[in-house]
Amino acid sequence: MAELHLPSTLPPLFPGLPRRLDVDAETVGDALAQLDERWPGLHDRLCEPGPALRPHIHVYVDRERAELVTALDDRSRVDVIAAISGG
């Protein structure tokens, strides 16, 4: 199971969504699709049509910058980051 970490801005939008959870998925995109099944609309908050990650959403798999197609394994750590913007 990959270990997924989400930004603090997401749980307030989706009741019951934790900051950290385990997912059994082959890619980053699969992991986000699984989350969207449990918390409908979550995929839209992280991805734009294409689909592609939103410009200010960065994903890292084991500390390496990742995309939706990036593969996961059982011990992957996935960090979803709301990148610096705003003010």
Partner 1 sequence: MPKTVLLVGTRKGCFLLQSDEARRDWELRGPFCEAWPIYHAVLDPASGAIYAAAASEWHGSTVWRSPDLGETWTQSSEGLAYDGDGGRKLSKVSTLAVTPGRVLVGVEAPGIFESRDDGATWSLLTTLAGQPGSEAWDDPQNQPPGHLGVSAIMPDTDDASRFWAIVQGVGIFETTDDGESWTPRNRGLRADWPREHEEVGFCVHKLTRSPADGSRMFQQNHVGMHRSDNTAGNWTEITEGLPTEFGFAAAAHPHDRDTFYVIPLDPGHGRCMPDGRAAVWQTRDAGSSWRRLEGGLPQEDAYVGVLREAMAIDSYDVPGLYFGTSTGQVFASADEGESWSEIASYLPGISSVEVALVE
Residue ranges that bind partner 1, judged by CB under 8 A: 7, 9-10, 12-13, 40-41, 44-46, 48-50, 54, 56-57, 82-83, 85-86
Question: Which residue number, 24 or 40, has a Cβ lying nearer to partner 1?
Answer: 40
* Burial tier of 63 (Cβ tally within 10 Å: 0-12, 13-18, 19+): exposed
Q: Which is nearer to partner 1, 36 or 62 (CB)?
A: 36
Q: Nearer Cβ to partner 1, position 16 or 49?
A: 49
For residue 10, give the nearest of 50, 43, 33, 54 by alpha carbon: 43
